[in-house]
Chain A
């Protein structure tokens, strides 16, 4: 696969992330009123789980966009630092495995709570 495709994916995820992450910040903040009130300063289970249930698609999009963007960034940094000539496939494999792991973990959380 040409390097340009992974970078196009990174750019697309970045553009999605700008909007979805802004929504996530606002949801944890001003939009929510005071989610830490009455809980001793910790985020209440009902509030956090409620968010995941009500905005499942948004958080799913956030998860996939963030992991694909972030771990591709890690791949770029690793590529520059280690600059593998013959074992580039190994680096790509490690990143893909990490992506799969975190996507699976996050997806399970969304489905289990939803």
Chain B
């Protein structure tokens, strides 16, 4: 039995006014984030038996405004996510808006950012972060991790813009590697790692004066207008030793 099952049971049989969010019930949507026994978790992914207590303490997510019972205001969290421009930025806007071919991305290039792409925006990392608890203007681990996800994407050409967005007084420098974000993340996105990698990118630009690379180019066409033979990328190969836990 999960905590979500218990909450549904409470709502159905004991108190029908209890308010909480849930949707998929299988750790994909990120709706049922709440503080369970002092730690942010997904209610649908938390078995009652592992909590080892007869009375389970369930609270709203910390560092967020409470709308009702266990329902929190996620608008500030979403606003932080939006502020880091979480989409592919291309210099050639016409090519982007009228794309008729895919961009070539190698499997080893995908490996560099795929982990951070698994984010379900549940808000647990944001709630767990001690800097967010103190500073509501801090953009938060999720936003920085997503900013890095796009920085590491070879199709993206917004490296300079992203660096400037992160290099602010409430940006990437307010992370102090408490690691609570990675500790609570239900999808192993490991935001702490992404943040330090984002920091390295900022230092590369400021200290080493590195310039942005040109983004991945569209797959070339033959003169007949057909996509070049052999241009289809090979199946993704994540390589040996790339699986977590090894």
Contacts and interface: CB of A to CB of B under 8 A. Distances in A.
Interface of A: 2-5, 7-8, 76, 79-81, 83, 85, 88
B179 to A, nearest CB: 17
B30 interface: no
B134 A5 contact: no
Given A79-B169, A83-B170, A85-B137, A4 B131 contact: no
B135 A3 contact: no
Interface in B188-243: 202-203, 206-207
Contacts, number: 36
Nearest to A92: B169
B174 interface: yes
Main secondary structure of the interface of A (DSSP, over half): helix
A4 B174 contact: no
Nearest to A77: B134
Given A80-B174, A83-B170, A88-B169, A5 B206 contact: yes
B135 A80 contact: yes
B138 interface: yes
Interface in B87-136: 131, 134-136
Contacts of A2: 167, 206
B171 interface: yes
Lowest 6 CB-CB distances: which A-B pairs, in order?
Answer: A80-B135, A83-B137, A80-B134, A4-B206, A83-B135, A3-B173
B161 interface: no
